[in-house]
Structure 1
Amino acid sequence: MGYPALTGCLKLFFRELREPLFPFVYFDKFIRAMSCPQSSDRLKAMKDLVSTLPKCNYETMKTLFIHLLKVIDQSKENRMQVHNIAIVFGPTLIWPEKETPNLAANMIYQSRIVEFLLLEFKHIFKS
């Protein structure tokens, strides 16, 4: 099974969870963290927030992002740069518990959060 097939299965698995990988209680917290105007503050807020995730969520997210970074490393062949992966996986990994009228804004934040975590993976996740 190649990366596209595995990634498709992963996307389906995560989308069908009752609660997303980013737990519902974290949704607004991640949006606030992404809204920090200074990149250094944003990085610190995201790192602090990720470190408070339940251990199973943290470890699953770390493992998934390692896989996604491997997919991104092959972007010349699969055209899946970090931005594209984030657009595909953002709404799959983080969504609000209740639908809100801010659907478009939420979608932007969902992908920006995943993109940021992928780009800053080495700084955010402990080795």
Structure 2
Amino acid sequence: MNNLIIDAARDKIILTFIVGKNIYTCSHENSKINFEKLMLLISDFLKSNKSSLDHIDAIYVNRGPGSFAGIRNSLSTIKALFLTKNIDYYCFSFADFKDFSVIEYVDVPKLCEKYKVKKNLINPIYLS
């Protein structure tokens, strides 16, 4: 299963691509310019790892708490991918995984399954 994890709620935009046992990751500055071109960043990231959106089985996106603009743009992007490419997504929060103090992005798909994070449901958590 090929999973893409997007986290734009924190200090940096983090993209993690899990292909079998291989894990690829990159980060970008958390800025308005990068939010506006998030889809290009994703596409370039996948291309640099010899893949494309056609090879993604599921997307996991951090719904917060965090940056309003980062969360809004990442959720909009994955919703568009769901509508155009029919790629299922899971909106998680690190708070969903309350039993774990240290969580790595590679653990997110298994934790979403364990904690029964609902598929294709958006429920953002913004910082006030």
The TM-score with structure 1 as length reference comes to: 0.30
Q: Which fold has the larger relative contact order, with Cα–Cα distance below 8 Å and residues 6 or more apart in sequence?
A: 1
Larger radius of gyration: 1
The TM-score with structure 2 as length reference comes to: 0.30
* Greater helix fraction, Structure 1 or Structure 2: 1
